[in-house]
Every structure is written in structure tokens, then in C-alpha cells.
Homo-oligomer: A and B are copies of this chain.
Amino acid sequence: MTPDAAQPTRPQPLTMQDVLLTLQRFWTERGAMVVQPFNTEVGAGTANPATMLRVLGPEPWTVGYVEPSVRPDDARYGENPNRLQTHTQFQVILKPDPGNPQEVYLQSLEALGVDVHAHDIRFVEDNWASPALGAWGLGWEVWLDGLEITQFTYFQQAGGLVLDPVSVEITYGIERIVMALQGVDHFKKIIYAPGISYDEAFGQAEYEMSRYYLDDADIPTNQQLFGAYADEADRLLDLRLPVPAYGYILKSSHTFNVLDARGAISTTERASSFARMRNLTRRAAQLWTERRDELGHPLGVVTPPPAAAAPSGFPQIDGTNTLLFEIGLEELPAGEVVRSAEAVRTAVTDKLAQTRLPHGKVSALSTPRRIVVTVAGVQAREPDAERTVRGPRTSAAFGPDGAPTKAAAGFARGQQIAVSDLQVIEIDGVQHVGITRIDPGRGAAEVLSGLLAEVVAELRAEKNMRWRDAGLSYARPVRWLLALLGNTPVPVAVSSLASGVTTRVLRTAERPVVTVERADGYREFLSDHGIVADSADRRAQIVAAAEELAAGVGGVVDLDGEAALVDQIAALVEAPNAVLGSFDPRYLELPTAVLTTVMRKHQRYLPVVSPTDGSLLPHFVAVANGPCDRVLVAAGFSDVLRNRYEDAAFFWRADLKVPPADFQAGLAKLTFAEGLGSMADRAARIADTASTLATFVAISDTDAATLARAGELAKFDLASQMVVELSSLAGTMAGVYARAAGESDAVATALVEMEQPRSAGAPVPQSVPGTLLSLADRFDLLAGLFATGARATGSSDPFGLRRAALGVISILRAWPALADITIPGGLEAAAGRLRQAGVVVTQDALDEAGEFIARRYEQAVLDGGAEHRLVQAVLPLAVTPAVADLALADLETLVDDEGFVALTTALQRARRLVPAGTSTTYDPAALTDPAELALGAAVDAAGPAVRSARTLAEFAAAASPLAAPINEFFDNVLVMADDPAVRAARLGLLATINELAEGRLDWVALG
């Protein structure tokens, strides 16, 4: 075999075995142990006890090892270019975090022959969690020209235990790295050893093990094995033997994976099996930790890094200077970059406000690797301040003889002054003895030193992590601090970090660490090193470059449509370097949604489209970080895309062979949520609930037929390989595959529409069947999850309850014709179907769900710019959002109408007076006052028209004649008459008025 002819200039790449040997050698030279792969099938290097158990407890553990990772579900008979039932990981654990793991990692890539100066290597946020292992961590995917080659994680928790110290986990994806190094497009073409391809050596095993996992594993046998393994693990934990117990946990886990790949895990089994494995793992972790304690920690105990020395003095500052403070970081998550600058700016501003240090404007900029705050015009010192210390009242301070009392003497002694130095000061009109002291202003360096240390110590992000520096916690590790006031270093010490006068520029720079001489002009200083510190500048550069590159191939980038992606890209680089990439036009036969989803979601590439019809062109713009070999990197970006498209094409072709009904049957394998069955159960409920909703409204026979068929196929594409891989294409692919399978356009459309709206403001279904299915989907989700106790709290909304509720609102607002479907009605329809399936759904849960949806309506109209008071007023109507919308629109006109205002005021008077529950029946004969008689007559007259008013406008028109009589009544009549009969009649009359207005608005809110 020869390397890919397209890459003839690359030097002779390493064989796969040399890559493995090189990594072992590299890491041992950096103090790691090398151990062997575990002698039981594991799904990942993480599962090997050399990671899972060793990250626990206080002992150091720095290790590297190869791990053939077995994933039965990834078996493809060797046919898929990138997917193997056994792929090879090289796993590194650094415990403790050495402080520079990214840098060491990059050296390892160089050792493999990767020219880090030519390639685009980036750390892209990727957080990892394994509920089954009770483990999570924060970190990155490492991208090599867009290809994910490594998972890099700061392990925070494992086996349910908080890790202290934190371990750094580096997991190299060996086949991917080798394919990239060797420039081959199928794992089978990898040169494993000189003259021997992966296929030649291992092709048969790949095929046969795929056969086993996908087709031939005996299900009862594996079920039996699963139980036997788990029981044995359980028993061994009771015997306090975590090592063999953990081995059996791994065996049970693998067997579970085999059963899963064979499609043999029922919903109940999945839930109970996971719970069992999780519980066993937690126990094993706990027991391991105990046993290591008992053994006295044979490998010793990690010593945390020493705290940085507190500043022993502060430099003298003269004049007015600019403060530069840089917090150096490992790559922040894209979502944190802009936020971080703002948070630090606010913190500095607030903290400065608590000092007396005069200063000018506080600004902050950020990139993935730094938060730079500057404060203009910082004066040299705080001014001195007077402070009054109050002593005893004068009357108590001096005796009748004018001599100081003991109290005065004591106070003076406490203040270390002579009694004769006591002054008389007046506080709140009372004279006290006391003393006025001068608090001398601190020097700027001293002020800033403490303040900036606090800023760092108090840094917090949405998700925070720990690293070796046990005193800090943030989105990613803080690795350096730079503080200059003018050209004077300001000493800042926080935890183990001490500020200096250096910054780190691009890692690939000739000198990656540079000294900064002065605070002024730092933005330009960074710019000279290729770094664009301002997110807005980066964004603008990216936009300009994308436009230019797209134009070069006769295309455009939809910069409005891609605005969020551009924001994200701007937060992924500090030195944007956009390149144009291309892909083989034959991939354009794949659905556009597939192509663009892959580009955006997986690769953060900007699609290039035709300026005339917006159709996709076979090009994209991708943004590298910093200088690189643009031809090489563009080729790499394109290679990755080709590989992903090849994957997608594989799924596409494979999926097209499967009838939708077969996929539908496959949904039984997919769990929905605990207590709510499988996705097949859910799809069936949605179909039935949609049918029920259809009975609330009149739909055509054609629509009914479409609804029935689409209901049968609801969500079938969730079982397709494409959607398993690209979940955001759910629905989209249903439409495509349904059409390909000969379903009608209407059915295909309904299947697409049932997933709409996909987000706030996104399109809602346009067809009745699609609408009904979409509503049923969301009512089922909300009713089901509220019934089983799930709630959206804070930032946590794993099931997307908010989005579902907003979807209901969006659809019902868009479809006044379906106003007979109310929110409570829809929830109740879903609840009925859920109850059929044995789910307990209480009225309280439904009420709570209804309330939750109503709040989304409130939020939606407020976000739409409506006045808060008016929104509150129409909220009672939100059970039918289209009606509420109409009322709100009417109200927005009426609030400026004098008659309506008068009516409102009058109605509020009535409403305030009448107790709740007052009967509307009364004895008209008891009314005698002319005002009350007039009111009675007016009510009788207006009543029919008021009652039949369909809109708020009609109501206002019909009811406005009541305003004057009501006011007359209140002005002249004492409602609470002594005579009970009179009082009852008067209340009854007012209650009737209230009843006429009831439900039209929240009149009180309007007040």
C-alpha cells in the first residue's frame, strides 16, 4: 500500500504500532507508568481500573496505556471507514495535574510527527459525563484540522466520589490520528506495521466480531451472563474485594453492551441494568478508597502545590496610570468567552467602587485563553480619609467636676491616646467624646493587589471545575496572571498563582511566553502577536474573510442565518484565520439538512450557498486559530468533512434500505424516560393523543387519513442511523425517508412538522396533521414528565420542558382555527392516554403543567414587547393563547379609549367590593334607590350583548354603557346597608356585573 497520492509531500508517517510505541515512550519519559490493557473487554480506557479506581483517593498516579476499546454498537462488519467494534485508545492519566498538561500533550503530537506549526490544533469544549460510572469532568475535544483526535478531560468525580486531587485524562483516538498521519480514508487502509495494513492483519476479526455483536450473540446466554457477573460483583463487594468486583462490573457492562447491540434490552431492563451497574460502581469506588486508606496509601499522597507567597511589599506608584490585568486560561468554552469579560469587568468595577482609589473607565476583552481587564487613569494612591471614633456621651465622660470619668479614661486608653486628646463630637444631636482619625489612603498597588486576587478567587462560570490549584474553581484552569500598573508590576497572589509580567501568546509562536513592558497599548501588543483580543473584532474579521472567500467561488455565506455560529467561531479562536474548504459535489445528493448540520454542529464550518437561490455549494469557510499552512489545513478540514459525509452517506444508504415501519419497530429499543416507557410507547401515545385532539376540532377526511398514517410512523427516524448520529435531524430525516419509502407528501410533511417548532421563533407546522401531532407530542411530554416528577429548574431542563411548552404556545397562537384545543384540554387528552398506559397523572400535576405553559405565554408576549400590565390582564385567557392574543391586541387599542378606561375603573370598583362567592341571584324588589334601579336596568339592557361578545372589543362596546350607572351607584348607594335583604340584593347586582366581566380580563391586573 502507498500513502494517499493527494498527500505526496508528507514525510513517511509512523505506522500504527509505532504511534503506540512512541506514545508509550513519550509518556514514560515524562514520568508516567505504562500498564497493560485490561484483560476483560472494556468500552474505553476510562473503564480500565488503571483509570477508574486510580483516580480515586489521594495517591499520585501518572500512567499511560493502550486500550483496545470494544463498542459492540459500533460494529459495522468493517464496512464503515471510521467505525470499528474495537478501536484503539491511548489513555493517559496525570494525577495530579502537572500544571501544563496541554503543553505536554502538544509535545506528544510533535513526537508523533505532527507539525503543530503547520496544522490547526484547537481545544474545543467537550464535557464528559458517564452516569453509569457516576463520573464527570470538563475539558475539550482536541481538533487537528477539524478532526477530533483526543478527549482531554479534567476528571472531577468518579464512582460518585469527588476527586481530590483532580486527574487529567487524555484519551488519544489512535485510528483517527493514524488515518490523519497516513492520509488514508478508511481504517482498513491504515499501515499497522511495515508492509501490513490494518485490514490484512485484523479485517477478519473486525468482520467476525461484528457478526457476533450485531447478529449472532446468543441473547439468553448473554442475559444469563449479565446476571451472573453482577451477582458476583455484588458478593465480592460484600467481601470487601473491590478489585475482582470491579472486574465483574466491567464484564457485566460489556455484556449489557452486547445485548444492547443485539437489540435485546427492553426499556425496563435498560433502566434497572443501568441502576444496578451504577450502584455497583459506586460501591466499588467507595470500597477501593477505603481499602487504600487501610493500606496506608502505598503510592504516597499527593501534596497540593504550595500557596503563592503573599506580596511582601508594594511598589511605589507615581502619577496616573493604566492598569492591565490579564487572567490566563486554558481554552474557555465558547459560551463563556464573552460572558467572562463582562463578569470580570463588573467585578473589578464593583470592587474598585468599594475602595477610594480614583480611576477612569474599566474595560474588559476576552479570547478563549485570556480575560484582559484595563482600568484607565488609576491614580497613585487612595486619598486619606477621616474616620470618627465615638466614645461615651459627654455627660458620662466627665464627672460633675469636669474631670474625666473612668469611662472616658478607658476609652482613651483603648484608643491609645491621652484623655486630654479626646474631642467632643455630636452624633444625632447628642454630644459624645471621641476622636477623629485619619485613615491614610493605600497605594494603588496595594489596593489593586488585594482586589484583583479577590476577582480571581471569585471567578465563577455556568459550569465550574477544579484543577491542581485547590483554591480556585472556574470554567477552565487559570494558568497565569499578568498585572501591570503603567509599567510597574503589581504583585497579585491567589492560591498557588502569583502574577508576573509575562503573557502567553499563541502556543505555536516562536516564543510562546513573552514579557509585557507596559499596560498601555496591550491590545496592540497582543495584535502584534497575532491575537485579536476583542471578540467583536474577531467576529468582524471572520465575517469579512468569509464573505471574501465565499465570493471567490461565486457564493455567499448567510451571515444572518449563521449569526450564532459566527459568534461561536469567534469564541473558539484568538487569531482568526479563515480558509476556504471544499467537498466533492457528489455529496450534494445527500439531503442539504444533513450536509449543513454536519458542517455547523460537528465542525463549526460556515456553509457557502448560491447567492441566487440559496442552494448549497460544495464549499465552506472554516476558521483556524493562528498562522498555519493554509493549504494543508484547508485540505485537512476538507478531509474531515469528507469522512463525516462518507459516514453520513453510509447511514443514508443503509437507512434507505429499511422501511419506516421497521424503524418504527426499532423504537422499542430506545428509552424515553423513567416511568414513561420506550420511544415506541411514546410515539403510540402521541398518535392517539393527536387523534383525540382532532376530535376537538373539525378536520377533513384527507387530514384525518394523513394524521392516521403519520401517527403510525411518528418518530420512526429516531431509530435510523442518521438520526442516531445527528439527532438534530429528527423529523427532517423522517420526511426524507418517508418520501423515499413512497409515503405521501402530506404524511412526510406531517412527520417533519411534528418536530416543529424547533426553537423559539422557528417555523411552526403549517398543516393540520402536523400541527396536531406536534401538539400531541408536546402535551404528552409535559403531562408525562410533570406526572413523573420531572421539572425544569434553573439551567437544568434535560427533557426540554421549556421548549415544549413554548412550542405549544407558538402553535396555538399561530392557529386560531384550533382554538378549541385549549392547554388544559390538550394536557387532559395526553393525560388520558398516559393513564391508559398505567402512568399515574394527578390533577395537581396537570395544573402545574398548565401553569408552566401559561408562564411561557407570558414570557413570549413580554419578549414580543407587550406592556406588562396588559399581559397580566389577558393571562386568564392564556389557556387559549390565540384568544389571549386577540384580547391583548384589542386591549392595546382600548387602553387609550376613555370609555374603556372608565369601564375598567367602574368594573374594578365593583370587583373590589364584592366578596368572592357572592351569589348573582338577588331580589330586585329589594332595590329601591334610583341609582341602583338605574344600574339594574342598565345591566338588564346591556347583559345579552355583553354576554355574546366574542372579542374584548365587542365586550367593551357592549359593556361601556354600564360605566356611568356603576359610578352613579357607588356614589349614591351604601352597599353594606344595615338591612340584610337590601345588602344582599345590592351585592347580588354587583356580582352580576362582575359575572358579566368575569373571564374577559384580569381586571385587577389592569388597575
User: Which of A's residues lie within 8 Å of B, judged by CB?
Assistant: 17-18, 20-21, 24-25, 28, 31-34, 36-42, 49, 66, 68, 70, 88, 192-194, 196, 199-201, 203-205, 208-209, 211-212, 216, 218, 221, 224-225, 228, 231-232, 235-236, 239, 241-244, 291-292, 295, 298-299
Q: Which residues of B contact A49 (CB under 8 A)?
A: 205
Given contacts A17-B28, A36-B66, A38-B39, 9 further A-B contacts (CB under 8 A): A17-B34, A33-B201, A37-B37, A39-B40, A39-B42, A203-B298, A204-B298, A205-B243, A208-B241
Let me know if B225 and A228 touch, CB within 8 A: yes
Residue of B nearest to A86 (CB): B39
For A216, give its contact among B36, B193, B241, B242 (CB under 8 Å).
B241
Q: How far is the CB of A490 from chain B (nearest CB, A)?
A: 40
Q: How far is the CB of A88 from chain B (nearest CB, A)?
A: 8
CA A239 to CA B298, docked complex, whole Å? 49
For A235, give its contact among B33, B38, B218, B244 (CB under 8 Å).
B218
Q: Which residues of B contact A31 (CB under 8 A)?
A: 194
Q: How far is the CB of A508 from chain B (nearest CB, A)?
A: 30
Most buried by B among A17, A18, A192, A225: A17
Let me know if B241 and A211 touch, CB within 8 A: yes
Let me know if A39 and B36 touch, CB within 8 A: no
Let me know if B204 and A295 touch, CB within 8 A: yes
Q: Which residues of B contact A205 (CB under 8 A)?
A: 49, 243
Let me know if B225 and A241 touch, CB within 8 A: no
Let me know if B244 and A33 touch, CB within 8 A: no
Let me know if B66 and A33 touch, CB within 8 A: no
Which 3 residue pairs are nearest across A and B when measured between Cβ atoms? A208-B243, A212-B244, A33-B193
Q: Which residues of B contact A192 (CB under 8 A)?
A: 33
Q: How far is the CB of A395 from chain B (nearest CB, A)?
A: 76
Residue of B nearest to A88 (CB): B36
Let me know if B216 and A239 touch, CB within 8 A: yes
Q: Which residues of B contact A33 (CB under 8 A)?
A: 17, 192-193, 196, 201
For A193, give its contact among B34, B38, B70, B232 (CB under 8 Å).
B34
Most buried by B among A192, A204, A209: A204
CA A88 to CA B36, docked complex, whole Å? 10
For A232, give its contact among B218, B228, B232, B236 (CB under 8 Å).
B218
Subset of 23 A-B contacts with CB under 8 Å: A17-B34, A21-B21, A21-B25, A21-B34, A28-B193, A33-B192, A33-B193, A33-B196, A34-B193, A36-B36, A36-B68, A39-B39, A200-B298, A201-B298, A201-B299, A204-B292, A211-B241, A212-B236, A212-B244, A216-B244, A218-B232, A221-B228, A225-B225
Let me know if B243 and A216 touch, CB within 8 A: no
Q: Which residues of B contact A221 (CB under 8 A)?
A: 228, 231-232
Main secondary structure, interface of A, reads: helix
CA A489 to CA B863, docked complex, whole Å? 105
Q: Which residues of B contact A32 (CB under 8 A)?
A: 193
Q: Which residues of B contact A299 (CB under 8 A)?
A: 196, 200-201
Q: Which residues of B contact A17 (CB under 8 A)?
A: 28, 33-34
CA A211 to CA B241, docked complex, whole Å? 8
CA A576 to CA B450, docked complex, whole Å? 81
Number of copies: 2
For A41, give its contact among B37, B40, B193 (CB under 8 Å).
B40
Q: How far is the CB of A15 from chain B (nearest CB, A)?
A: 9
Q: Which residues of B contact A295 (CB under 8 A)?
A: 204
Q: Which residues of B contact A209 (CB under 8 A)?
A: 243-244
Q: Which residues of B contact A204 (CB under 8 A)?
A: 243, 291-292, 295, 298
Residue of B nearest to A231 (CB): B221
Residue of B nearest to A54 (CB): B201
Q: Which residues of B contact A224 (CB under 8 A)?
A: 224, 228
Q: How far is the CB of A84 from chain B (nearest CB, A)?
A: 14
Q: How far is the CB of A708 from chain B (nearest CB, A)?
A: 42
Let me know if A37 and B36 touch, CB within 8 A: yes
CA A232 to CA B225, docked complex, whole Å? 11
CA A614 to CA B9, docked complex, whole Å? 79
CA A746 to CA B563, docked complex, whole Å? 100
CA A68 to CA B49, docked complex, whole Å? 15
Q: Which residues of B contact A232 (CB under 8 A)?
A: 218, 221
CA A209 to CA B193, docked complex, whole Å? 35
CA A28 to CA B193, docked complex, whole Å? 8
Q: How far is the CB of A258 from chain B (nearest CB, A)?
A: 10
Q: Which residues of B contact A201 (CB under 8 A)?
A: 33, 298-299
Q: How far is the CB of A71 from chain B (nearest CB, A)?
A: 13
CA A39 to CA B25, docked complex, whole Å? 22
Let me know if A37 and B39 touch, CB within 8 A: yes
Given contacts A21-B21, A34-B21, A70 and B39 within 8 Å (CB-CB): yes
Q: How far is the CB of A275 from chain B (nearest CB, A)?
A: 21
Q: Which residues of B contact A292 (CB under 8 A)?
A: 204
Let me know if A298 and B199 touch, CB within 8 A: yes
CA A20 to CA B292, docked complex, whole Å? 27
CA A218 to CA B236, docked complex, whole Å? 9
CA A212 to CA B243, docked complex, whole Å? 9
CA A209 to CA B70, docked complex, whole Å? 24
Let me know if A244 and B21 touch, CB within 8 A: no
Q: How far is the CB of A228 from chain B (nearest CB, A)?
A: 5
Q: Which residues of B contact A231 (CB under 8 A)?
A: 218, 221
Q: Which residues of B contact A228 (CB under 8 A)?
A: 221, 224-225, 228
CA A675 to CA B28, docked complex, whole Å? 55
Q: How far is the CB of A515 from chain B (nearest CB, A)?
A: 35
Q: How far is the CB of A175 from chain B (nearest CB, A)?
A: 13
CA A983 to CA B824, docked complex, whole Å? 132
Given contacts A21-B28, A232-B221, A208 and B39 within 8 Å (CB-CB): no
CA A242 to CA B204, docked complex, whole Å? 10
Q: How far is the CB of A289 from chain B (nearest CB, A)?
A: 12
Q: Which residues of B contact A218 (CB under 8 A)?
A: 231-232, 235
Q: Which residues of B contact A36 (CB under 8 A)?
A: 36-37, 66, 68, 88
CA A33 to CA B20, docked complex, whole Å? 12
For A242, give its contact among B66, B208, B243, B291 (CB under 8 Å).
B208
Most buried by B among A20, A42, A244, A299: A244
Q: How far is the CB of A786 from chain B (nearest CB, A)?
A: 44
CA A194 to CA B643, docked complex, whole Å? 42
Let me know if B208 and A244 touch, CB within 8 A: yes
CA A987 to CA B41, docked complex, whole Å? 88
Q: How far is the CB of A281 from chain B (nearest CB, A)?
A: 17
Q: Which residues of B contact A199 (CB under 8 A)?
A: 298
CA A292 to CA B201, docked complex, whole Å? 11
Q: Which residues of B contact A242 (CB under 8 A)?
A: 208
CA A299 to CA B199, docked complex, whole Å? 10
Given contacts A17-B28, A39-B70, A216 and B194 within 8 Å (CB-CB): no
Q: How far is the CB of A415 from chain B (nearest CB, A)?
A: 60
Residue of B nearest to A199 (CB): B298
Q: How far is the CB of A830 from chain B (nearest CB, A)?
A: 44
CA A235 to CA B222, docked complex, whole Å? 13
Q: Which residues of B contact A88 (CB under 8 A)?
A: 36
CA A216 to CA B237, docked complex, whole Å? 11
Q: How far is the CB of A29 from chain B (nearest CB, A)?
A: 10
